[in-house]
Amino acid sequence: MISELIESAVARLAARRPLVLSGLRGGGKAWLVGSLADRLQPPLVVVGESHERAEELQHDLAYFAGAGRVFHFPCWDTVPYDSFSPSKEVVAQRMTALLALREGRCPILVTNVQALMQGMIPPALLGSLSFTLRAGETYPRRALIQRLVEAGYARVDLVEAPGEFSARGEIVDVFPAQAGHPFRLDFFGDELETLRQFEVDTQKSFRDSEEATVLPAGEAVVNAATSARALAALPDYKTRVQPEIYRQIYGYLEQGSTFPGVEQMLPLLYGAPGRLHEVLGPETVLLLDEPEKLRQRSHDFFSEVLREHELGLEQGNLVPPPESFFLTPDEFDKMIGGFYSARLVELAVDGGPDTLVCPFADNSTLRSAAAEGGKSAHATLSRIVEGLREWQQGGAPIFLAARSATGVFAQPPCAAPARASAAEISAPVASARST
């Protein structure tokens, strides 16, 4: 039954026919998406309601599909028009996902409504400022340093954080925005002899590398071109911004320096920010997790944008117009409609010929049995095992989650008949987090 469901879903998706997959409970969504990804042209883009929901889906998908096949493009961990920049961890996740998309090695991308609605670095600029360094090739050092500066990297004495580089003698250290560790480039003249990763704390190299890809230092690249564009647009805001704030921003841009919250100025730096959907090809399949929640979230988020914009104006901050930075709910709907999409819903309702009802069960009955009072542990476990047997006899593969690797097999004698082999523990009757 499960294999027939998957094959039917794959056929409909491949033919771009309307499709609603209902009855997806617990980890069922992630398991099914992982199964579909094995059979379809990438990428599959799973859209969750919120950052928290997208993270939950990412973790489940990493388990079922493999961590190396799942990438997460989160929204910024700041409120709209915040005076703080998104965390380096979030920027690294976003850049890693964009790099995987550009290189065609992203079978599954997980994102959320806010990430799709807010602006980002324009894809064309992302491409022009990205480059790969390879050991054994020649790179004029002056040109390399200039390229790092144009990509928004800050020159420092000691590299300690993403977006920084240093140059001393024959050594150039650079910490790409998406990398977990910085790279040490050892030159002989203009030839890159060795390329090694090193630890920030000790500054000691620990791994040789053949190549390193350098993406822009962040999504708000402040270089000669972008700062000039922003400085030209800045006078339009002068009468609405507190003089001290205006002078500070003007000074940073004049020096070509970044500052906290510079990401909120993408419309000034770029004229028009990019959008995630601009990176996705026409073959992309969107999988919408609870579509009605996504639509409601788009309205709620844009209402938050309008409130924060109004508050920013009242406080005399520099706040670009919402429509220059964010998609409206109508634009969000139109953007979603520009891709082929399928719907993932929890409620098991047969909505007609476009709907496939997934015969997945959650573990609510097992949890009820475990929560009953007045019964011995043996009796409670017997009821749970009985329920598992019924599912197994009905042809449903069973996934068991335990606190430890040995816990799955450390069952009392009464559970022995229901023990599954490693091969049988394969599909999502329930999510591990709901067990």
pLDDT for 420: 40
Residue 183, SS3?
Answer: strand
Token reading at 242: 């507190």
Q: Is the dihedral of CA 216, 112, 2, 284 positive or negative?
A: negative
Torsions phi, psi of 398, nearest 5? Answer: -120, 130
C-alpha pair distances (Å), 143 with each of 138, 190, 196, 213, 249: 11, 10, 21, 16, 29
Write out the residue limits of the CATH 3.30.2060.10 domain(s) in the chain. Answer: 131-214
Instruction: Please list the residues that pair with 20 across neighbouring strands.
Output: 343, 355
pLDDT for 350: 75
- What does pTM read for this prediction? 0.84
| DSSP state letters, 343-387 | EE-SS----STTEEE-----SHHHHHHHH-SS--HHHHHHHHHHH
CA dihedral 59, 65, 68, 71 (to 10 degrees): -50
Tens place of pLDDT per residue across the chain (435 aa): 688 889 999 999 999 999 999 999 888 899 999 999 989 988 999 999 999 999 999 999 999 999 999 999 999 999 999 999 999 899 989 999 998 998 899 999 999 999 999 999 999 999 999 999 999 999 999 999 999 999 999 999 999 999 999 999 999 999 999 899 999 999 999 999 999 999 999 999 999 999 999 999 999 999 999 999 999 999 999 999 999 999 999 999 999 999 999 999 999 999 999 999 999 999 999 999 999 999 999 999 999 999 999 999 999 999 999 999 999 999 999 999 999 999 999 987 777 889 999 877 667 667 776 667 667 777 788 888 888 888 788 776 677 766 666 655 554 443 444 444 333 333 444 443 433
Write out the residue limits of the CATH 3.40.50.11180 domain(s) in the chain. Answer: 2-124+274-355
**Does the domain at residues 2-124+274-355 carry the CATH identifier 3.40.50.11180?**
yes
Distance from chain centroid for Cα 414 = 44
The position carrying tokens 């004229």 is: 271
Token reading at 427: 């599909």
pLDDT for 402: 67
Torsions phi, psi of 179, nearest 5? Answer: -90, 150
Instruction: Please give the CATH architecture assigned to the domain spanning 131-214.
Output: 2-Layer Sandwich (3.30)
pLDDT for 422: 34
Q: Is the dihedral of CA 119, 121, 122, 123 positive or negative?
A: negative
Q: Which of 172, 256, 253 is nearest to 214 (CA)?
A: 172
pLDDT for 406: 63
Q: What is the DSSP letter of 326?
A: B
